[in-house]
Structure 1
Amino acid sequence: MDKAAVKRYYDLKSRQKEIERELAELRGAILGECEAEGLAQAEVGGYKVKIVVQERREYDDQKLKSALPDDDVWRLVSRADPSKIAGLVKLNVIGEEKLSGTYDTKKIALLQVERI
């Protein structure tokens, strides 16, 4: 095994953790400033900053299992995976009305920064 490759991999993974931590801090600071100023988008020093809000469903496993038509459908899902559930709704295996009350909606702010 190539010792240099293993060392390089370790070094890069260490830097990746540091970069991800710093990105999270900067993301929080930028989102906080935008929220405080009531901005959904802005131009700052040659960059366009845009906040996109998404709604995500967080399902309760027990409520979902009791809302599904039969155990075979639950086996398809096996746990409350929002993407699997959305697929079953699209295929009309589960009706949207059956899911009522089985999830909470959570808003997620996504940060997009582009160079102008």
Structure 2
Amino acid sequence: MAGGNAIRGSRVGAGPVGEVERGESAPRLRLPYWCANGHETRIAFASDADVPELWDCPRCGLPAGQDQRNPPPAPRNEPYKTHLAYVRERRTDADGDALLEEALTRLRARRGM
């Protein structure tokens, strides 16, 4: 059993941590960003940092800009395409029929029909 007068989680000479011991904080800019849903997000940047034009809204995920009256539009999501849809973009029905006939001819020759 440990001694009853031990101070746990501390070290000799430890005192309260305050602004004096940490030093002064760097100068900051707090800039507002607005998304298309009207959410406002205030981000703190160092005063000498490059400020991004767009920032992702932490509430809805849409891009946010610094102009409240004209926020950036939501990105367009392309619908999911199947493999067949991509094939049909590259080939016509006539090409597909020719490839199918060629494959069937090879299959029949292999089976001896």
Q: Give the TM interval when normalised to the shorter protein.
A: under 0.3
Structure number with higher strand proportion: 1
TM-score by length of 2: 0.20
Structure number with higher helix proportion: 1
Find the structure with the greater CA-based Rg.
Answer: 2
Task: Give the number of the structure with larger relative contact order, counting CA–CA contacts within 8 Å between residues 6 or more apart.
Answer: 1
TM-score by length of 1: 0.19
